[in-house]
Amino acid sequence: MSQAETIVIADAPLRWQDVVAVARQGAQLVLSEQAWARVENAQAIVQRIVASGERAYGVSTGLGALCNVSLEGEQLSQLSRNTLLSHACGVGPVLSDEQTRAILCAAIINFSQGKSGVQRPVVEALLNVLNRGITPQVPSQGSVGYLTHMAHISIALLGVGQVSYRGQVVAAAQALAAEGLQPVQLGAKDGLCLVNGTPCMTGLSCLALADATRLLQWADVIGAMSFEALRGQIAAFDAEIIALKPHPGMQQVATNLRGLLEGSEVIANSLGVRTQDALSIRSIPQVHGAARDQLAHATRQIETELNAATDNPLLLGTPDNYRVVSQANPHGQSVALAADLLAIAMAEIGSIAERRLDRLINPHVSGLPAFLVSNPGVNSGMMIVQYVAASLCAENRQLAQPAVLDNYVTSGLQEDHLSLGTNAALKLHRALENCRQILAIEYLLAAQAFEFLKPQGFGQGTGRAWKLLRQRVPAYDQDRWLAPDIASAASILQDPTLLEDVLPKLY
């Protein structure tokens, strides 16, 4: 995907792939004329409310527990600025640039619905920092679902805080000046709009959907390699049998496995060597397929949220005939549940992979040399990488604890049920990274097992995957520093183009 690509916000719903294109590949984000018209209509409603003196939460009043304090005139602009400064109180390591860019993208999509009331120059300022590579430094911790992350992003529009710019961390004011941009002037409701809603958890979750999609495809490839290396009984993937349990994901995984293993001499020569394989070998369609179904569910939830109006209050109608409605659309329960469920699913993908890779190194069940090395004893072989995988599985079990079940009371009893959706999305990111490393270890071990099965021919897909790894990692003849081998295998799993180039028929 080239940097010249442009994502246009118009009337059609956007997909998670659009957010990923902007966040990771540097695609430019622009609003169509109809999107700008929606933004300006909502802002005109805000101006009408301010002129009339009507009390409307966050437009002409204080925020949270201060919602009954009426404000007017210059106080409204000052409230917006103060909102950003006071809410920018996150802690911990900063988000990666792509994570912050994903949040920015989701926020702009939210404002383009034309229900928030944010000024056009503020949206233009957000587009400028996004499209010109000015990325605010955002502490990762401190959100109960919203507020702190967007506040740290938004203070950069004021020339406050630090940003990543041209490979360096510099003052926001310096980066704005280098691009010929002026700090934005806020008006009524702008500050509340900028910190409100669910763009943080939604943007982060869009990146997670990309990673989960790719890892689930790789899990089929690598699981098929382990199945082949352990001389599995292919009848378990029989199309007629699989069709008797018609979960969509399961059907797809079984189709993938049959295609990956097609033409395998190893599988053909292993028919009948055992009556039944261990569950971690024969249940790949059932387990991987269930994770795919959870991914499909999470995708629906997250994309629905991405295209929703998630501000409070929301502005309906026109300046001549409007309604201001206080409600709870910023509550991110749908995204939080989706991220939690996907974290559980991906923890299971790592768990079954760890069980398969353990069988590969165990001579009692593998039928291969102990720890996949020719001269065990003087060589430890692949013994300890299984420990690493077990550790990562244990961490994923901890990360699979649902964030959404936590609840705390904030804002003087005003906000007394919280989704913790941003925490859910961030721990999903960590679970996905652990899963990538576990699959990389299994990939390494399955490829090493293939060395002991030559000169038999491998499956159409599994053989290609083996050769791909061998372009970067040589066979393991004797003990050597193993960490770089794992890193090389993991880098293959991070590159979406390799999956398409090597295994074009995989879904």
State the alpha helices, DSSP H only, in 274-420.
Answer: 279-282, 284-306, 333-361, 363-366, 383-399
**Do residues 279 and 157 share a domain?**
no
Torsion, Cα 483 489 491 494, to 10 degrees, reads -130
> Is 63 inside a domain boundary?
yes
> Is 1 inside a domain boundary?
no
**Do residues 176 and 159 share a domain?**
yes
**Do residues 337 and 417 share a domain?**
yes
> Is 26 inside a domain boundary?
yes
Q: Per DSSP, which regions of 374-504 are E strands?
A: none
Tokens of 293: 């179904």
Phi and psi at residue 410, to the nearest 5°: -130, 165
Cα 264 to Cα 459: distance, rounded to the nearest angstrom: 4
Cα 127 to Cα 43: distance, rounded to the nearest angstrom: 17
Domain boundary among 178, 196, 214: 196
Domain boundary among 168, 196, 224: 196
> Is 285 inside a domain boundary?
yes
Q: For position 4, what pLDDT does the model report? A: 60
**Do residues 170 and 232 share a domain?**
no
In tens, the pLDDT along 267-324 reads 999 999 999 999 999 999 999 999 999 999 999 999 999 999 999 999 999 999 999 9
**Do residues 24 and 65 share a domain?**
yes
Tokens of 459: 């499956």
Supply the CATH number for residue 56's domain: 1.10.275.10
Residue tagged active-site, from 57, 165, 443, 476:
57
pLDDT in tens, the chain (507 residues): 344 699 999 999 999 999 999 999 999 999 999 999 999 999 999 999 988 888 888 788 877 667 777 877 788 889 999 999 999 999 999 999 999 999 999 999 999 999 999 999 999 999 999 999 999 999 999 998 888 999 999 999 999 999 999 999 999 999 999 999 999 999 999 999 999 999 999 999 999 999 999 999 999 999 999 999 999 999 999 999 999 999 999 999 999 999 999 999 999 999 999 999 999 999 999 999 999 999 999 999 999 999 999 999 999 999 999 999 999 999 999 999 999 999 999 999 999 999 999 999 999 999 999 999 888 778 888 999 999 999 999 999 999 999 999 888 787 767 778 889 999 999 999 999 999 999 999 999 999 999 999 999 999 999 999 999 999 999 999 999 999 999 999 999 999 889 888 787 878
Closest CA to 258 of 242, 273, 270, 247: 242
> Is 165 inside a domain boundary?
yes
The yes-or-no answer on residue 57 being catalytic is yes
Q: Which residues pair with 450 in a beta bridge?
A: none
**Do residues 187 and 227 share a domain?**
no
> Is 145 inside a domain boundary?
yes
**Do residues 304 and 355 share a domain?**
yes
Domain boundary among 132, 166, 196: 196
| Domains held by the chain: number | 2
State the alpha helices, DSSP H only, in 230-283.
Answer: 239-242, 248-261, 265-269, 279-282
**Do residues 115 and 255 share a domain?**
no
Helices H / strands E in the chain, number of each: 21, 9
Coil, helix or strand at residue 9: strand
Closest CA to 220 of 228, 210, 230: 228
- The domain in which residue 473 lies consists of 205-502
In tens, the pLDDT along 312-369 reads 999 999 999 999 999 999 999 999 999 999 999 999 999 999 999 999 999 999 999 9
Integer angstrom CA distances of residue 453 from 265, 267, 277, 280: 10, 11, 19, 21
Supply the CATH number for residue 456's domain: 1.20.200.10
Tokens of 461: 């897909």
**Do residues 172 and 236 share a domain?**
no
What amino acid is encoded at 254 in this protein?
A
**Do residues 164 and 308 share a domain?**
no
Cα 291 to Cα 350: distance, rounded to the nearest angstrom: 11
**Do residues 187 and 215 share a domain?**
no
Whole-model pTM: value is 0.96
> Is 156 inside a domain boundary?
yes
Pairing of strands 28-31, 6-9: parallel
State the alpha helices, DSSP H only, in 145-273.
Answer: 148-155, 172-178, 190-195, 199-229, 239-242, 248-261, 265-269
**Do residues 172 and 294 share a domain?**
no
